[in-house]
Amino acid sequence: MSEITKLIHKYLRHDKKFPHVWCPGCGIGIMLGALIRAIDRIGYEKDEIVLVSGIGCSGRLPVYVDFNTLHTTHGRALTFATGVKLAKPNLKVIVIMGDGDAVAIGGNHFIHAARRNIDLTAIILNNSVYGMTGGQSSPATPYGMKSTTTVYSNIEQDFRISELAVIAGAVFVGRGTVYHARLLDSLIEKALLKKGFSVVEVIAHCHTQYGRQNRLGSAVEMMEWQRDHALPVEKALKTKPEELKDKILIGVLIDKELPVYQDEYEKIRERAKEAAITH
């Protein structure tokens, strides 16, 4: 059996009504593949993984894989994940979100989960658009681009999701694209192994909605765009600022240490018990 067949057998839900909901050529499958490979390499038990998602195309991901899976309300995945993780800290809780999910309706939860440094891994599929509802602009739609709600052109600036995560306090932030699948594998693996709030932003294409409305071509052409516009962060340091203008920086943006919420809360429990005895 080839490696991929083994992984499919081990991790996909065979009793689920396939086929999946995603369009042919969608990048979400590549992200799912990278996630499964990372989980397999690290060697987590399927029982200890909780995969949490919000709403949208990316929100449909957990249903296909054989973990404890939780498909929550729009934008709220991180809040449910916070409850799961604090209630059972030995579980590995992974959160899948889209760009609208993570930084529009769920933007507040996103920055606060990062600030708190809860031990969660958030994987955000950024395809610049609300795909499932038919191609409306999202906070990640670049200025000047079209969508079904910005047919005359988007007049808003887009969020830089990874940079937002860095500023909000995430201890690990990596950005990859679905074109650079092997980089994605390693970024997700590093994020999963990091203690604290880790983020992987996955730049993906939505050729069905965003690509069609902006005449960006097929899935393949949009992935070629990712290839041509991605620049490893190490190289960016040696590049002139004007040449970085239309580039997407990929790789590890930050990897630092901060006190992790659960560890700190353990200390609070000790202090609370001491206080209970003395009073």
Partner 1 sequence: MERRSQREKKKSHRKELLLQGNEAVVEGALRAGCRFFAGYPITPATEISEILSVKLPQVDGTFIQMEDEIASLGAVIGASLAGVKAMTATSGPGFSLMQENLGFAIIAEVPCVIVNVMRGGPSTGLPTFPAQGDVMQARWGTHGDHPIIALSASTVRECYDVTIKAFNLSEKFRTPVILLLDEVVAHMREKMVLDDQEEIEILNRVKPTVPPEWYIPYEDTPMGVPAMANFGEGYRYHVTGLTHDIRGFPTSRPDEIGPFIARLHRKISQHFSEIQIAEFYQTEDAEITVIAYGCVARSAKRAVRDAREKGMKVGLLKLTTIWPFMRSSVEKVLQTSKILIVPEMNMGQISREVKRVNRGVAKVITLNKVDGTIITPPEILNRMMEVS
Let me know: does 102 contact 122? Beta carbons within 8 Å: yes
Encode 172-208: b = buried (16+ Cβ within 10 Å), e = exposed. Answer: bbbbbbbbbeebbbbbbbbbbebebbbbbbbbbbbbb
**182 is a site residue for partner 1 (CB under 8 A):** no
Contact 107/97 with Cβ under 8 angstroms? no
Judged by beta carbon, residue 7 or residue 145, the one nearer partner 1 is 7
For residue 269, the minimal CB distance to partner 1 (Å) is 4
To partner 1, the closest distance from the beta carbon of 273 in angstroms equals: 6
Shortest CA distance to 170 belongs to which of 52, 248, 96, 257?
257
Binding to partner 1 (CB under 8 A) within 102-141 occurs at 108-109, 112
Cα 166 to Cα 54, 173, 174, 253, 268: the distances in Å are 22, 7, 10, 8, 27
* Shorter beta-carbon distance to partner 1: residue 16 or 235: 16
Considering only residues 49-68, where is the footprint of partner 1 by CB under 8 A?
50, 52, 62-63, 66-68
User: 65 and 32 in contact (C-beta within 8 Å)?
Assistant: yes
Q: Does residue 139 sit in helix, strand or coil?
A: coil
71 binds partner 1 (CB under 8 A): yes
> With respect to partner 1, which residue has the nearer C-beta, 16 or 227?
16
State yes or no: residue 14 binds partner 1 (CB under 8 A): no
Q: Is 238 near partner 1 (CB under 8 A)?
A: no
Q: Write down the least CB distance from residue 248 to partner 1, Å.
A: 29
Calculated CA dihedral for residues 260, 266, 272, 278, nearest 10 degrees: -120
Residues 73-92 that bind partner 1 (CB under 8 A): 73, 76, 78-88, 90-91
Q: Using CB under 8 A, count the residues that bind partner 1.
A: 44
Q: State which residue, 68 or 150, has the beta carbon closest to partner 1.
A: 68
Residues between 30 and 49 with contacts to partner 1, criterion CB under 8 A: 46-48
Q: How far apart are CA 161 and CA 99, in angstroms?
A: 8
The single-letter DSSP state of residue 158 is P
Binding interface with partner 1 (CB under 8 A): 13, 15-17, 46-48, 50, 52, 62-63, 66-73, 76, 78-88, 90-91, 108-109, 112, 265, 268-269, 271-273, 275-276
